[in-house]
């Protein structure tokens, strides 16, 4: 339960949503798009999130699609993670997503909410980073399609009033061999200590991480190191480790030193999987 | 205060209730509708004690605003009538203090409905959404498996 | 013994309520008049409060009262060192500072967020070892001035809240005579009980001065007593109700929210005020599971026979002494573990730190001390190259031996540990070896441990039972034991059914406790429910039987000695057809002409433990508890030698239970306790930052074991009756837990080939230990 009050809107169209946002913003209401609302509820109750106007995107049809169109898999941002997993159109996504939170919570958490969330793991973005997906963004300037890797830098960079409505992924990547491993502090539940998602395309391994740094990322430098076939596997891993962006997380899930130890083994498993 | 009067379809009845936008469904069904079967354990989506069913799927009612519940078929433990899973919980001692029980039962109830052929890994995937601090989980495992089994016989 | 009802898995009396969602817990009781009390918590672990500004908060609609700590009596069970709301300074992150009473929780929260408190940071005491140092900052500057009970030994000018000494034999001589010694240090931080029902209390003061409290507690009678004594209220005017409790594990034995609810109600003219802990508040404000720093030294002869043990416990009691005093003592009296040791020196210190204060955790100091002792026993086995199970067998405590406090053990007051060890050996297939290679990376490894435990309870702790009849001859059973999930009330019904030889369905137990009409049961802790209430119940049953026979002897014109009671009838022994049903006599017998004799039958029984004593302050000599339950444990893990991760494969407990009263309930208790023990051993702890703030106060980051992470459980029992107990039953609610940290620690130390000395046993700990970083 939230102790603050806010207006709640349920727009049916993209334009309506944007209009509501702009209007509320003009009135100084700190508007917020929501889809699953789980962050609003859980961070709001401990005063880490606030709004006076919540614009719930769930009813917008474009955000609820999940289909192949012209060689692309298009997934709506409003879909819950369990819906996406049930359909299982993108196995790497299913695999990565099904380790987020827990099954019941994933029935409420949405793809858009996870990718755009404040909670910095945003694990569902990893497969799309690997697959060079396109994101469909809606905002005051209309609908734009952009390569995810261009506008994702630690988080999805959106301008005021913009929201994510769809993610489109080239069929080629959907069928590429992949592996995804979530390592936790202990056993099988909880936030990631490190989550790695990887796929192999055109003979090259791609890797993306969550939980290693306070943001999810894909690093071209790490990939270059991992794909340097002149080196032994061990040496490739060592040079990839040297390219990990900073800061490396050092928190209750694990120290940064320990994360590096774990990462090294994970990379061994990733490379091993594609041999 | 921003109050909204909304209709919620709960346990096959339409209930009219006045809520704040910031009220969770959990708070609303407990404090406004007197359905205290769903329990607050964390209010943060972590424990599953507040689990109910929404359109047949398990839902943590602390992760849902009451205003989001409009137009949905909501079922709480009070809406179950001596189901196989409830009987199995009794028979297999799948509860001790009972506080996690309504949430577990609602999750299991959905599981039986949606995945009547659930294998071990599906059962685990679903049930790790709830915490039971008293039992060893083995009792719950036995209960849910026996209910799934009986359900198959019933539906055949 | 040939028994009809005892031992059967009788379905729990509250089962239907619990699976239909109709079972009511404290926070489920609704009344529109209930106000909400919200607490402002300290963000710092140690800081001086320089100002509190509540002016903006007071303007919020719905706010009825705002309370701060001045002029409120100090509280604390054994020593009065705790202000219910902090005054002058805060001593832990999460300490209650201001109480806001408002019409709704949302209004209360809003007001709470507008209260401005200024603090000046003070140096933080992070660990009991730091607290023990000479120059440590003081948590309590005025320790010497607190009111306390006579057997509490604080050391003013230090952080020592209590010190218990055990001096048995001559430890230096024992060590000198030993051919091998091992010595090691252990430590772990406080953690949490994490009952699924967070704590909550509602208080109201009626116009006639009656103080009504409803609370989620293991100790409703204690609540009554303490409120009367802290605030000078009339004992008889305080009525405490406890409905079903959603898990407790010791965490609900302390009295805290009740005081805030009472103070809140008093501030608003007696209206009902509820304090409901949200999870974060439950974790950091309400008392937690104690931490420990321990040093253990064991000396033995070449055959591994233990000659001496020298032990130091520094308990992390947190900011206040409340239950720390008892915990410090409980750890001392069983300090050696279940072994025969002639020469014992133990200093058990209850230390103040800037952590949340501690309250018992299932096992009352024993799972904690067992980790230190059992790891050291394994070190001894390793050094001597003796099989660790065999080493324990050789040293196992037996009748004729004495405990650290010099209680002479006999066939009844201690269970049979050697038999537990023998059964464990088979159960976990010890003969197949401790280590089994699976492949290059994976290895399966077994670790073992043993435990014992007596319940250090107040020497005069009472338990009472009242039995009344319904006109259909069925019986109502009233006991002050709280139903916290252990099924105790169902077991009591079984005991009564067995004794009366009647159908258990005809026995109705009162689930709720209310201190005005339920006879007192000291506290529902320490696995003492069945032990004490069981005895009281047997006495009450005898009382009822005597009364039934008295009337029946008139009706049947036969001497009482010729009568027997069974199947809800009194009848003539050698001619059972001549008899009379309970329903014809339990409310008096009426002759055909209307004349009546007898009257309503009410049975009463009580029990008080015999021969318990305080401990001698210099030597620790004394009788702390009624009996020692013993147990042996095994844990098997599958360990990954590259990743240093592991899975729990199997966990086993063999407990000398005396007798099984309800099979499924007993198994449930043992397996549930093991689950909790593994969770504590493997994952649960508070993480603190440099300011002493708890970094993981939510279940998302404080993570009890989940479905599927659990191992397979193996449970077996040994049956050595306790002659003082009802049907010989020993306490068993805690014992499954006690050996888990030790057994898991032993398995992993062997698997990883490194000696592990801390909890929780995470892969990172193993990695750090191997890398020499701890
Ligand atoms: C119990 C639990 C466990 C969790 N464990 C994990 C975990 O293991 N790994 C992990 O990665 N995460 C985890 N999370 C975090 C969770 O995935 C995020 O909180 C998720 O982002 C919330 O999704 P939502 O749909 O509810 O978002 P909302 O609450 O609706 O929104 C979250 C944020 O995203 C913004 N937003 C939502 N939709 C859009 C959109 N379409 N376009 C632009 N911005 C948008 C909102 O403005 C808001 O700031 C966990 C959460 C819970 C409750
Ligand atoms: S109360 Fe909803 S998940 Fe815990
Ligand atoms: S029965 Fe107590 S938490 Fe599950």
Residue A241: phi and psi, rounded to 5, are -60, -35
A101 plus A128 within the same structural domain: yes
From chain A residues 166-195, the ones with a CB under 8 A of any chain C CB are 183, 185-191
What separation in Å is there between the alpha carbon of B62 and the centre of ligand 2?
5
Q: Is the pLDDT of residue C377 over 90?
A: yes
Out of A39-48, C248-257, C301-310, C487-496, least confident range: C487-496
Q: Examine the fold and report which residue of A173, A199, A222 is the final residue of a domain before the chain moves on.
A: A173
How far CA C337 is from CA of A136, B20, C310, in Å, comes to 65, 57, 12
A167 plus A260 within the same structural domain: no
For C258, the token pair is: 């009740």
Q: Which residues contact residue A161 at a Cβ distance below 8 angstroms, ignoring those fewer than 6 apart? A: A18, A21, A22, A25, A139, A140
Q: Is the pLDDT of residue C348 over 60?
A: yes
Q: Is C767 in Cβ contact with A188 (below 8 Å)? A: no
Out of B29-38, C60-69, C474-483, least confident range: C474-483
Q: Is B95 in Cβ contact with C675 (below 8 Å)? A: no
The predicted pLDDT at position B84 comes to: 97
For C767, the token pair is: 């990695």
For ligand 3, pick from B90, B101, B128, B137 the residue to mutate: most ligand atoms within 8 Å of CB.
B101
The predicted pLDDT at position C58 comes to: 97
Nearest by CB to A45, from B4, B43, B51: name it.
Answer: B43
| Residue C334's pLDDT band (cuts 50, 70, 90) | very high
SS3 annotation, C649-678: EEEEEEEECCCCCEHHHHHHHHHHHHHHHH
Atom of ligand 2 nearest to the CA of B39: 1
Q: Which one has a higher pLDDT value, C150 or A18?
A: A18
- Digit-coded pLDDT (tens) for A40-93: 999 999 999 999 999 999 999 999 999 999 999 999 999 999 999 999 999 999
A169 plus A181 within the same structural domain: no
- Tell me, rounded to whole angstroms, the distance of Cα B78 from its chain centroid: 10
A158 plus A121 within the same structural domain: yes
| Residue C270's pLDDT band (cuts 50, 70, 90) | very high
The predicted pLDDT at position B1 comes to: 63
Mean pLDDT score, C212-222: 94
For ligand 3, pick from B39, B92, B93, B96 the residue to mutate: most ligand atoms within 8 Å of CB.
B96
Ligand 1 site, CB within 6 A: A 32-40, 42, 57, 77, 100-101, 105, 109-110, 112-114, 116-119, 121-123, 163-164, 191; B 45-46; C 700
**Mean pLDDT (chain C, rounded):** 95
Which candidate, C363, C388, C450, C418, places its Cα nearest to that of C182? C388
Angle between helices B84-91 and B101-114 (to 10 degrees): 130
Atom of ligand 2 nearest to the CA of B62: 2
Nearest by CB to A189, from C105, C643, C706: name it.
Answer: C706
A207 plus A162 within the same structural domain: no
B93 lines ligand 3 (CB under 6 A): no
Mean pLDDT score, C69-98: 97
- Percentage of residues of chain C with pLDDT beyond 90: 88
CATH numbers and ranges of domains, chain B: 3-47+63-74 (3.10.20.30), 84-155 (1.10.150.120)
A159 plus A193 within the same structural domain: no
- Tell me, rounded to whole angstroms, the distance of Cα C58 from its chain centroid: 40
- At C414, is the secondary structure helix, strand, or coil? strand
Decide the pairing of beta strands C306-316 and C343-351.
parallel
Q: Is C708 in Cβ contact with A188 (below 8 Å)? A: yes
| A27 is a domain residue | yes
Instruction: Give contacts of B95 with chain C, Cβ < 8 Å.
Output: 15, 18-19
- Digit-coded pLDDT (tens) for C102-127: 999 999 999 999 999 999 999 999 99
A158 plus A200 within the same structural domain: no
Residue C422 burial (CB count, 10 A) = 16
Alpha carbon distance C761, A272 (integer Å): 29
The predicted pLDDT at position C30 comes to: 78
Structural domains in chain A (count): 3
Alpha carbon distance B40, B37 (integer Å): 10
- Digit-coded pLDDT (tens) for C565-586: 999 999 999 999 999 999 999 9
Beta bridge partners of A217: A209
ipTM above 0.90, yes or no: yes
Beta bridge partners of C202: C214, C274
Helices (H), C211-323: 220-231, 257-267, 279-284
Alpha carbon distance C754, C644 (integer Å): 11
- Digit-coded pLDDT (tens) for A227-274: 999 999 999 999 999 999 999 999 999 999 999 999 999 999 999 999
B41 lines ligand 2 (CB under 6 A): yes
Q: Is A37 in Cβ contact with B22 (below 8 Å)? A: no
The predicted pLDDT at position C9 comes to: 86
The predicted pLDDT at position C527 comes to: 61
Q: Transcribe C505-569 into DSSP letters.
A: GGEEE--SEETTTSPPBS-S-TT-IIIIIHHHHHHHHHHHHHHHHHHHHHHHTS-GGGEEEETTE
| A246 is a domain residue | yes
Tell me the residue range of the domain where A39 lies: 7-54
Q: Is C485 in Cβ contact with B96 (below 8 Å)? A: yes
| Residue C531's pLDDT band (cuts 50, 70, 90) | confident
- Listed in order, strand segments (DSSP E) in C325-472 are 343-351, 358-359, 435-437, 442-453, 462-469
The predicted pLDDT at position C2 comes to: 64
CATH numbers and ranges of domains, chain C: 33-122+199-276 (3.90.1170.50), 288-457+612-770 (3.30.365.10), 461-608 (3.30.365.10)
Residue C67: phi and psi, rounded to 5, are -115, 140
A183 plus A265 within the same structural domain: yes
- At A180, is the secondary structure helix, strand, or coil? strand
Q: Is the pLDDT of residue C1 over 60?
A: no
How far CA C285 is from CA of C92, C198, C280, C760, in Å, comes to 8, 12, 8, 22
For A54, the token pair is: 């919540």
Residue C170 burial class via C-beta count within 10 angstroms: exposed 0-12, middle 13-18, buried 19 and up: middle
| A2 is a domain residue | no
- Listed in order, strand segments (DSSP E) in C360-497 are 435-437, 442-453, 462-469, 475-479
Q: Is the pLDDT of residue C459 over 80?
A: no
Find chains touching chain A: ≥3 CB pairs under 8 Å. Answer: B, C
| A228 is a domain residue | yes
Question: Long-range CB contacts (< 8 A, 24+ apart) of C583-592?
Answer: C583/C471, C583/C472, C583/C473, C584/C555, C585/C548, C585/C551, C585/C552, C585/C555, C586/C469, C586/C470, C586/C471, C586/C473, C586/C548, C587/C469, C587/C471, C588/C551, C589/C551, C589/C554, C589/C555
Residue C25: phi and psi, rounded to 5, are -110, 170
- Kindly report the CATH number assigned to the domain that includes residue A233: 3.30.390.50
B133 lines ligand 3 (CB under 6 A): yes
A146 plus A89 within the same structural domain: yes
For C680, the token pair is: 């504590």
Q: Examine the fold and report which residue of A119, A151, A173 is the final residue of a domain before the chain moves on.
A: A173
Instruction: Pick the residue from chain A with its C-alpha nearest to B127.
Output: A103
- Digit-coded pLDDT (tens) for C59-76: 999 999 999 999 999 999
| A1 is a domain residue | no
Q: Is the pLDDT of residue A179 over 90?
A: yes
A46 plus A82 within the same structural domain: no
Out of B73-87, C89-103, C124-138, C508-522, least confident range: C508-522
| Residue B156's pLDDT band (cuts 50, 70, 90) | low
A250 plus A152 within the same structural domain: no
Alpha carbon distance A153, A213 (integer Å): 13
Q: Is the pLDDT of residue C526 over 70?
A: no
A168 plus A182 within the same structural domain: no
- Kindly report the CATH number assigned to the domain that includes residue A67: 3.30.465.10
Q: Is A191 in Cβ contact with C106 (below 8 Å)? A: no
Q: Examine the fold and report which residue of A156, A173, A190 is the final residue of a domain before the chain moves on.
A: A173
Alpha carbon distance A246, A269 (integer Å): 23
């Amino acid at each position: 339960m939230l102790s603050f009050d806010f207006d709640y809107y349920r727009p049916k169209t993209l334009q309506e949503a944007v209009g509501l946002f702009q209007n509320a913003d003009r009135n100084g209401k700190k508007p917020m798009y929501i889809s699953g609302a789980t962050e609003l509820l859980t961070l709001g109750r401990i005063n880490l999130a606030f709004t006076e106007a919540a614009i719930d995107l769930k009813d917008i049809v474009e955000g609820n699609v999940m289909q192949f169109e012209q060689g692309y898999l298009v997934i709506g941002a409003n879909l819950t993670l369990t819906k996406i997993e049930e359909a299982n159109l993108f196995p790497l996504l299913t695999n990565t997503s099904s380790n987020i939170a827990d099954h019941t919570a994933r029935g409420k958490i949405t793809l858009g909410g996870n990718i755009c969330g404040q909670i910095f793991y945003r694990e569902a973005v990893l497969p799309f980073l690997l697959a060079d997906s396109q994101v469909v963004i809606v905002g005051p300037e209309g609908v734009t399609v952009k390569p995810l890797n261009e506008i994702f830098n630690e988080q999805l960079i959106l301008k005021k009033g913009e929201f994510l409505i769809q993610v489109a992924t080239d069929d080629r990547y959907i069928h590429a061999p992949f592996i995804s491993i979530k390592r936790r502090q202990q056993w099988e539940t909880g936030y990631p200590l490190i989550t790695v998602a990887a796929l192999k395309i055109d003979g090259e391994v791609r890797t993306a991480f969550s939980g290693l740094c306070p943001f999810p990322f894909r690093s071209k430098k790490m990939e270059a190191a991992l794909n340097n076939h002149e080196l032994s596997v061990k040496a490739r891993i060592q040079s990839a480790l040297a390219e990990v962006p900073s800061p490396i997380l050092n928190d209750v899930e694990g120290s940064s030193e320990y994360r590096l130890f774990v990462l090294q083994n994970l990379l061994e498993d990733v490379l091993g999987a594609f041999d | 205060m921003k109050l909204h009067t909304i209709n919620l379809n709960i346990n096959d009845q339409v209930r009219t209730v006045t809520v704040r936008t910031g009220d969770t469904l959990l708070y609303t069904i407990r404090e406004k509708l007197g359905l205290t079967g769903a329990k607050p354990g964390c209010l943060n989506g972590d424990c599953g004690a507040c689990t109910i069913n929404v359109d047949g799927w398990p839902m943590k009612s602390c992760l849902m605003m009451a205003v989001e519940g409009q137009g949905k078929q909501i079922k709480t433990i009070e809406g179950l009538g001596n189901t196989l899973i409830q009987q199995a919980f009794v028979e297999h001692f799948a509860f001790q203090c009972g506080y996690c029980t309504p949430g577990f039962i609602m999750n299991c109830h959905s599981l039986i409905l949606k995945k009547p052929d659930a294998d071990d890994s599906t059962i685990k995937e679903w049930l790790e959404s709830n915490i039971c601090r008293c039992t060893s989980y083995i009792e719950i495992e036995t209960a849910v498996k026996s209910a799934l089994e009986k359900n198959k016989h019933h539906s055949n | 013994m040939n028994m009809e009802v005892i031992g059967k898995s009788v379905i729990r009396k509250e089962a239907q309520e619990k699976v239909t969602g109709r079972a009511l817990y404290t926070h489920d009781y609704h009344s529109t008049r209930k106000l909400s009390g919200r607490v402002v918590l300290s963000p710092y672990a140690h800081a001086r409060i320089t100002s509190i500004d509540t002016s903006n908060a007071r303007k919020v609609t719905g706010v009825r009262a705002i309370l701060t700590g001045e002029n409120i009596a100090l509280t604390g069970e054994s020593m009065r060192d705790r202000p219910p709301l902090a005054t002058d300074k805060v001593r832990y992150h999460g300490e209650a500072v201001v109480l806001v009473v408002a019409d709704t929780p949302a209004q209360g929260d809003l007001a709470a967020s507008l209260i401005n408190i200024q603090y000046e940071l003070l140096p933080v005491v992070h660990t009991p070892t730091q607290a023990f140092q000479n120059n440590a900052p003081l948590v309590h500057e005025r320790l010497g001035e607190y009111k306390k009970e006579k057997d509490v030994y604080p050391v003013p000018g230090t952080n020592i809240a209590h010190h218990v000494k055990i001096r048995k034999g001559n430890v230096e001589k024992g060590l000198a005579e030993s051919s091998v010694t091992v010595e090691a240090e252990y430590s772990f931080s406080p953690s949490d009980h994490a009952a699924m029902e967070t704590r909550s209390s509602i208080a109201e003061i009626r116009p006639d001065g009656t103080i009504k409290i409803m609370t989620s507690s293991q100790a409703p009678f204690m609540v009554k007593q303490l409120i009367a004594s802290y605030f000078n209220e009339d004992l008889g005017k305080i009525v405490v109700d406890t409905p079903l409790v959603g898990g407790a594990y010791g965490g609900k034995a302390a009295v805290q929210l009740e005081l805030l609810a009472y103070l809140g109600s008093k501030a608003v003219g007696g209206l009902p005020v509820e304090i409901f802990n949200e999870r974060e508040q439950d974790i950091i404000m309400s008392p937690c599971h104690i931490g420990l720093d321990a040093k253990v030294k064991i000396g033995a002869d070449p055959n591994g026979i233990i000659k001496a043990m020298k032990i130091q416990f520094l308990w992390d009691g947190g900011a206040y002494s409340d239950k720390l005093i008892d915990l410090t003592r409980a750890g001392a009296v069983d300090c050696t573990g279940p072994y025969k040791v002639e020469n014992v020196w133990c200093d058990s210190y209850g230390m103040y730190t800037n952590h949340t204060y501690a309250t018992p955790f299932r096992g009352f100091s024993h799972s904690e001390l067992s980790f230190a002792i059992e790891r050291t026993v394994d070190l001894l086995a390793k050094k001597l190259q003796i099989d660790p199970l065999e080493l324990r067998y050789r040293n196992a405590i037996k009748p004729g031996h004495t405990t650290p406090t010099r209680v002479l053990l006999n066939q009844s007051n201690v269970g049979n540990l050697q038999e537990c060890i023998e059964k464990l050996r088979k159960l976990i297939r010890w003969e197949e070896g401790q280590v089994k290679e699976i492949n290059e990376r994976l290895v399966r490894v077994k670790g073992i441990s043993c435990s014992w435990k007596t319940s250090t309870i107040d020497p005069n702790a009472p338990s009472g039972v009242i039995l009344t009849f319904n006109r259909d001859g069925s019986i109502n059973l009233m006991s002050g034991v709280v139903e916290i999930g252990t099924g105790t009330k169902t077991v009591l019904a079984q005991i009564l059914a067995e004794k009366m030889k009647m159908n258990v369905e005809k026995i109705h137990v009162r689930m709720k406790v209310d201190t005005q009409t339920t006879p007192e049961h000291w506290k529902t802790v320490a696995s003492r429910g069945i032990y004490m209430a069981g005895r009281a119940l047997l006495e009450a049953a005898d009382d009822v039987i005597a009364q039934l026979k008295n009337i029946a002897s008139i009706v049947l014109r036969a001497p009482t000695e010729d009568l027997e009671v069974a199947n809800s009838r009194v009848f003539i022994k050698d001619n059972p057809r001549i008899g009379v049903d309970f329903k014809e006599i339990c409310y008096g017998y009426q002759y055909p002409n209307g004349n009546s004799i007898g009257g309503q039958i009410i049975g009463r029984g009580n029990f008080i433990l015999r021969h318990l004593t305080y401990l001698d302050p210099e030597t620790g000599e004394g009788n702390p508890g009624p009996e020692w339950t013993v147990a042996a444990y095994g844990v098997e893990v599958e360990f990954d030698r590259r990743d240093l991760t592991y899975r729990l494969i199997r966990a086993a407990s063999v407990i000398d239970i005396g007798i099984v009263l309800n099979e499924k309930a007993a198994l449930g208790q043992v397996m549930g306790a093991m689950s909790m023990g593994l969770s504590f051993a493997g994952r649960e702890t508070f993480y603190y930052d440099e300011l002493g703030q708890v970094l993981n106060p939510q279940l998302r980051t404080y993570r009890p074991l989940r479905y599927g992470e659990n191992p397979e459980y193996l449970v077996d029992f040994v049956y050595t009756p306790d002659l003082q107990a009802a049907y010989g039953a020993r306490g068993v609610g805690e014992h499954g837990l006690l050996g888990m940290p030790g057994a898991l620690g032993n398995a992993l130390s062997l698997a990883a080939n490194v000696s592990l000395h801390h909890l929780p046993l995470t892969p990172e700990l193993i990695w750090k230990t191997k890398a020499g970083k701890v």
